[in-house]
Amino acid sequence: MSKDETLGEALRRQGITRRGFLKFCAATASMMALPPSMVPAIAAALEKAMRPSVIWLSFQECTGCTESLTRSHSPTVEGLIFDTISLDYHHTLQAASGSAAEAAREAAMEENYGKYILVVDGSIPTANPGYSTIAGISNKSMLLDTAKGAAAIVAVGTCAAYGGIPKAKPNPTGAVAVSDLIKDKPIINVSGCPPIPVVITGVLAHFLTFGTIPELDALGRPKAYYGQSIHDRCYRRPFYDKGLFANTFDDEGAKKGWCLYKLGCKGPTTYNACATTKWNEGTSFPIEAGHPCLGCSEPDFWDGGGFYKALSMPTEDITRAAVYAVGAGAAAGVALGAMNRAKKARAVKTHEKVTINDLEKGADDD
């Protein structure tokens, strides 16, 4: 596939019919969380879209994001998107390694300077550059170097987006998010641990289709996927509203599929598309499987006060504080009370007998 071929041409060359292309567009619209009425516009745009160059950098990460993207979805329509893009560097997926791989990256950067998309997964250690290096290059300098010529950066996964688990307390590597180091490029945070695969491809498809980055929320995430909380779109929400909760993982409420709020579900403060897009080809998502949401697409989710502690519960021992306060209060109260009693007793002692001659001011003085 040559670099100046449009997507439409590339697909036709692969023997894909117009009907197949329309199906591809419908699936892409669904993937981008766009309404089906947008399909004709998407078809027109994709027809003319040029295949972009993509460089994928993996830093302090577990490869879960790449797994999420590749493992369960091959071959798929999203796969086609990847066929369409030019994935010029991905050290987990590419055959080349070592200096040959780095040469490929540098070549792609040079060739597509200012136009390529940089995808990053994993957080970047800042405490010591030696904590994570690729071909002897520290993550930080590789990111800064590669970001220079990027048209946009997609931070895939919570580690790249917000620091994620490497940044969890006590953050030994001084891990930071992409957005902590790069300030002058558009950054799209595709958070999640891992993110929903279609969200990754959806963002790429959006860029491919419209040549722009999608509308983002305050945390830099595409609103199309992160616009609503898990809680708001959760099929168990009616149970929350009715006040029906599972109290343990094996009680009647759990078996009946009641709300998992009491078991620590972070759905109310977590924004992601799990409840509608779901996982594994739309099969299920954690809450459907009976486990509370961990809030993995939110910053600092690992340090959020316990996965199984309900959001409204205190994170410190309040009972003990209250008991101590009662004790201290009783002591202080008795002390104050004793002072008051002494004062009142003094007042009683000071009291001079009142006679009818004491009822007027200065009656004696006259």
Partner 1 sequence: MHMPDVTPAMELKVETADALTCNVQPLLHEIRHALARLLDEGGHTVIDLRSLPLAPGEEQQLLDELGNGEVYARLHALGPTEIIESRYPGVWIVVHYNSSDEVIGKFIEVCDIPNLLRSQQADIQQGLEQLQAQLPAAIN
Partner 2 sequence: MSASLQRGLNAFKEQIDAPVAAFFSSCVRCGLCANACLFYTETGDPKYTPIYKLEPLRRVWRQEYTFWGRLAKAVGLSKAVTDEELGDWEELVYDSCTMCGRCSMVCPVGNDITYMIRKMREGMAVAGHAPVGLVGATKRAVEIGSPMGVKLPALQAQIRHTETEFGLEIPVDKEGADYLLLLSSMEIMNFPEFIGAVAKIFKHAGVSWTISSEAFEATNSGIQIGVSEIAAELVQRIVTAAEKLKVKSVISPECGHAYMAIRWEGPNLIGRPYSFKVVHILELLDQLRAEGRLQTTGKESQRLTYHDPCQVSRRGGVVDQPRNLLNMVAEDFVEMPETGTMNWCCGAGGGVSSNERADEIRLKAFNRKKQQLDAIHPQAIVSACSNCRIHLEDGLEEYGMDMPVISLTETIAEHLAEDKS
Partner 3 sequence: MTETELLLWVRGPALQIATVIFVLGIVVRIAGILMLGRKKNLAEARGSAVAGGLRTILSRSIPDPGTLQRSTFNVVAGYIFHIGLFITILLFAPHILLIEDVFGVSWPALPTPIVDATTVVTIIALLAVLIHRLRHPVMRFLSGFQDYLVWLVTILPLVTGYLAFHRVGIAPPPTLLAIHILSVELLMVVFPFTKLMHTFSLFMARYYNGAISGYKGVKS
Q: Which residues bind partner 3 (CB under 8 A)?
A: 218-219, 229, 240-243, 245, 261-262, 268-269, 271, 298-301, 303-305, 310-319, 321-322, 324-326, 328-330, 332-334, 336-338, 340-341, 344
Residue written as tokens 């998502």?
285
* In the complex, least distance from residue 151 CB atom to partner 3, rounded to whole angstroms: 28
User: What phi, psi does 56 have (nearest 5°)?
Assistant: -115, 120
Assigned token pair, 260: 């998992």
Give the residue with the Cβ less far from partner 3, 243 or 362: 243
User: What phi, psi does 297 have (nearest 5°)?
Assistant: -95, 10
DSSP run (H or E) holding 328: helix 318-350
Please identify which residue in 100, 336, 338, 342 interacts with partner 2, judged by CB under 8 A.
336
* In the complex, least distance from residue 324 CB atom to partner 2, rounded to whole angstroms: 19
Give the residue with the Cβ less far from partner 2, 18 or 343: 343
CB atoms within 10 A of CB 86: 19
User: What phi, psi does 353 have (nearest 5°)?
Assistant: -55, 135
| Listed ranges 5-13, 100-108, 284-292, 357-365: which one lies at the site for partner 2 (CB under 8 A) | 357-365
Give the residue with the Cβ less far from partner 1, 225 or 302: 225
Give the residue with the Cβ less far from partner 3, 51 or 221: 221
Give the residue with the Cβ less far from partner 2, 321 or 336: 336
CB atoms within 10 A of CB 2: 8
Euclidean distance between CA atoms 48 and 100, whole angstroms: 33
CB within 8 A of 253, min separation 6: which ones?
Answer: 244, 245, 246, 247
Euclidean distance between CA atoms 136 and 148, whole angstroms: 20
Euclidean distance between CA atoms 118 and 220, whole angstroms: 16
Give the residue with the Cβ less far from partner 1, 22 or 219: 22
Tell me which of partner 2, partner 3, partner 1, none is bound by residue 130, counting a contact when its beta carbon lies within the kind-specific cut-off of 5 to 8 angstroms. Answer: none
CA 162, distance to chain mean position in Å, is 7
Query: Could you check whether the bond before residue 286 is cis, i.e. omega within 30 degrees of 0?
Result: no
Give the residue with the Cβ less far from partner 1, 37 or 350: 37
CB atoms within 10 A of CB 244: 14
Please identify which residue in 103, 313, 340, 342 interacts with partner 2, judged by CB under 8 A.
340
Tell me which of partner 3, partner 2, partner 1, none is bound by residue 357, counting a contact when its beta carbon lies within the kind-specific cut-off of 5 to 8 angstroms. Answer: partner 2
Given the rule CB under 8 A, which residues bind partner 1?
16-20, 22-24, 26-27, 29-30, 33, 35-37, 39, 75-77, 80, 233-239, 255-257, 275-277, 281-282, 284, 288, 290
Given the rule CB under 8 A, which residues bind partner 2?
336, 340, 343-344, 347-348, 350-365
